[in-house]
Amino acid sequence: MVTKTNQEAYLAVLKGTPEAEFPQLPAAIVVPTPNTTVRHAGIIVVTAGTADLPVAEEAVLTASLMGNDVMLINDVGGARASTGS
C-alpha cells in the first residue's frame, strides 16, 4: 500500500504490477491479496464532516487490507443543540 500518491505514480506501478488498484479518494495504490481472513468484524470509522473523508477512506482501506470488516459512517457532525428559552 502506498498512500498520499497520485495518478502518475499509479501508472508507473501498473507497468510492473498490473493488478494494482488506485482508489482515488484516499489517493492510495494497493495490491489486493486474495483470501484475506477477517480478523475483526465491526470496525467502524466515523467522520465529523466531509473534510475528514479522505483520511477516513484511507483508514477504511488500511483496515480492510489487513483483513478487517470495516464500515464508514460519514458526516455525523452536528451543531450544538440549543436548550435556551
Domain ranges within the chain, ordered by starting residue: 7-73
Higher pLDDT, 12 or 77: 12
pLDDT at 5 (0 to 100): 92
Look at residue 29 and tell me whether its pLDDT is greater than 70. yes
Only one residue has cell 466531509, namely 50
Predicted confidence band at 39 (pLDDT cuts at 50, 70, 90)?
Answer: confident
Q: Which three cell numbers stand for residue 59?
A: 483508514
Dihedral sign for Cα 31, 35, 40, 45, please.
positive
Q: What is the mean pLDDT of the chain?
A: 85
Report the alpha-carbon distance of residue 25 to residue 4 in Å, rounded.
10
Q: Which three cell numbers stand for residue 75?
A: 458526516
Q: Which three cell numbers stand for residue 25?
A: 479518494
Report the alpha-carbon distance of residue 24 to residue 47 in Å, rounded.
18
